[in-house]
Structure 1
Amino acid sequence: MSKKKIIYIAAPLFTHAELEYNQKLKDMLLNNGFSVFLPQEDAEDAAQERERQNQECIFVKCVEGVDASDIVVAVLDGVDVDSGTAWEAGYAYAKGKPVIGLRTDFRELSDGIVNLMIEMSIVSLARDEEELLKVLEKFR
């Protein structure tokens, strides 16, 4: 039996809705046989945790999470991609890790779906969770 692939979820985590969606993604991926690094839990990167830790500690844990992952799933919803998500996607790209974009937001830029630099660094763009799972099957 092959080792479970580790997925790093790069996503904004600043609202209750974002935190809940990230948890939903994690649960879905776990239920489909993946291991998951979720920064809001595994790097303790949430508002109340930031009061207990310094930012450098959270940063280091997130970098280590990307380093240990096999795949990065980047949530690209919003008018513009979250800056932390963009950094994580770029870092993963530079490390040669596949980055799969997930954009459930139907808004598009006039010259592309997301920022050019993000769009060119992802290997695939899923438009919903079902499509994401289909894309991830290629990386098992």
Structure 2
Amino acid sequence: MKGTIYLAGPLFSEAEREFNRKLAGMLRNAGYEVFLPQEDSADNSKSREKLDNATLFKKNVEGIDKSDLVVAILDGGSDVDSGTAWEIGYAWARGIPIVGLRTDFRTLGIEGIVNLMIEECAVGICINVEELVLFLEQR
């Protein structure tokens, strides 16, 4: 096993959850253990009816704490998902490296690819899944 990755990203639409599953599968095939909140903390619409927010929060924080690296999906226009932004900030404060994945080709122009606070705490930002896997292999 090459290490544990916490996969941070939006998980509210069917398309987001499917992309997250696909990406987690690719990372697992590359030899990583992956904490995927929508599965590992059961963060989805059904579990939110049964579990309280504090329990979901605790499970996700524990997932980050146990990870060697955070891969953060940075798609969604000029601002990333607010939960993902929090996970990035928490990981950065804990000294856990963050690698961004930005498949959305829109940029902020002269300001950079994403918000500078997100961009500056990442050890790298990749533009597609293949580049991400290659970047991780070279770390």
**TM score, norm. by length of structure 1:** 0.95
* Deviation of the 1:131 alpha carbon: 0.4
Could you say which residue in structure 2 is the equivalent of 1:36?
A: 34
Q: Which residue of 2 aligns with 1:78?
A: 76
Tell me the distance in 1 between the aligned counterparts of 2:83 and 2:96: 17
Structure 1 outlier segments of 4+, above 6 Å: none
Q: Residue 48 of structure 1: CA displacement? A: 1.1
The answer to whether the aligner puts 1:93 opposite 2:92 as a matched pair is yes
Distance 2:76 2:6 in 1: 20
Give 1:50's aligned residue: 48
SS at structure 1 position matched to 2:7: strand
Greater Cα offset, 14-23 or 108-117: 108-117
Unaligned runs of 5+ in 2: none
Q: How does 1:1-140 map to 2 (within 5 A)?
A: 3-79=1-77, 80-110=79-109, 111-139=111-139
Q: What is the root-mean-square deviation in Å for CA atoms of aligned residues?
A: 0.8
Instruction: Give the letter for the 2:87 counterpart.
Output: E
SS at match of 1:51: helix
Q: State the number of aligned residues.
A: 137
The normalised TM-score by structure 2 is 0.96
Task: Look up the equivalent residue of 1:134 and give its one-letter code.
Answer: L
1-structure distance, mates of 2:54, 2:102: 29
Q: In structure 2, what residue type is equivalent to 1:138?
A: Q
| Cα deviation 1:88-109 (Å, max 9, x = unaligned) | 0111011111100000000001
2-structure distance, mates of 1:4, 1:65 = 16
